[in-house]
Amino acid sequence: MNKPLRRVAIFCGLLVLALLIRVNYIQFVQADELKNDANNRRVTINQYATPRGDILVDGKAITGHTETTGSDFKYKATFKNGKMWAPVTGYASQAFGTTLLQGVEDKILTGDDDRLFFTRTVDVLSGKQKQGGDVVTTLSGAAQKAAFKGLGNKKGAVAAINPETGAILALASTPSYDPSSFAGNSQKDSEAWNALQKKNNPDDPMLNRALRQTYPPGSTFKVVTAAAALQDGLYDDIDEPTDSEVPYILPDTNNQELKNEGGIACKNVSLREALRVSCNSVFGKLGATLGRDKMVEEAEKFGFNEEQFVPVRVAASNFSTKMDRPQTALSSIGQFETAATPLQMAMVAAAIANDGKLMKPYMVSELRASNNKLVDSIKPEELSQPLSSDNAQKLQQMMETVVQSGTGTRAQIPGVTVGGKTGTAQHGVDNSEKPYAWFISYAKTDKGSPVAVAVVVEDASANRGDISGGGFAAPIAKSVMEAVLNK
């Protein structure tokens, strides 16, 4: 072969080699990235080419599917009692994607999860259509219904947990939306979607207030401060007088008073009495005395300052790590920059009810193939130990007094031991807006403590002076606890 031909042959060989390298790079290195690219329409077509699996509550499907026409998407998702369950299921839309459980468990629901390979292979060999798997939740239909009904037309949220396992029993958020209204890919679906966006609907119905919205927790946070005081040994007997003055002057300030609502008698009262009537002066001083570092440590043991995954992402609740002494006092009564999701405050109540042990919250118990074969199961897991068993039981006594004869009497359930704490969280410029009404609680029977609940109501429709966690949030918590107990 002469020299010019040899050069051409080498050049062509290099081109072929480059092509082979490129093809193999795309096939083996970029395959997953290209397959899952949001701009790859084949991905979405594949998502809706076969019936999606279901999300189950109490063994019954709360989702479904139906065939569509006039589109290259064959199936779309449907939702039963969509508004009630939207904070759990999220949506699965041919046009707008997936979220919450529909998003986190998408591969199971579409049947594309690697753990379903054997099932898919059997279906192909037997000539069956590919089917999605099912997601079995820990939710209680009765508790969810009670929470959603209790909130009614109010703006707010409810979260309920089994303290002994961490299993989430209810997640309600209002106002809500029906995921079925935009599950397709038509003009009608687009109009429904646009009507739900915050820019077009100031009530923001697509906001998951139970998991993604943080609120100032107000006086419900005082149980965290009480836990920190007990753990530090600041007080041992919950009925001994505290060294607390009225008015309490915030440290390092020019006589700035931390006042108590309604002029309640709080001077030198015990911890039990301070929680019963919700003394700002007592718990503000406790927080300032303990100091920022100890308060931060205790708050973080309860789950503050860290996102949770249940498996859906939960927004991190906030307890500032950069405070001076006056700010620490205010933070210790749920003010300043303290902010919590309803799920976070349910976790606080749950840890106290469970003798100081905080279980990791979760709302999926099993993943199953279309033939009902178990793919994965989730077991209860301890997250932390915010306080000792002995101190937790002291705090239980304090919270039970709140319900027996304090600000939380509307949560009483005959024959059941109920502990709780009310909260009225101020917000707005110069506290100009209606306060948020909070209530956190747990119920106990001789068989254990099956439920802890947190309720927040944003827009309680009453005169400002009448708004309180005990008046608006406690009855909702009571109905949720009764639903779990009766079940």
- Is residue 219 annotated as a catalytic residue, yes or no? yes
SS3 96: coil
Closest CA to 397 of 286, 288, 283, 270: 270
- Residue 268 phi, psi dihedral angles, 5° rounding: 55, 25
User: Across 406-484, where does the E strand assignment appear?
Assistant: 417-425, 436-445, 448-457
In the set 93, 173, 180, 219, the catalytic residue is 219
Q: Which amino acid belongs to residue 320?
A: S
Question: What's the rounded Cα separation, in Å, for the pair 317 and 333?
Answer: 15
CA distances from 297 to 124, 232, 304, 359, 406 (A): 55, 11, 9, 18, 29
Closest CA to 103 of 313, 306, 307: 313
Let me know: does 48 contact 42? Beta carbons within 8 Å: no
Closest CA to 442 of 413, 414, 471: 413
SS3 438: strand
Which residues are registered as beta bridge partners of 78? 64
Catalytic residues: 219
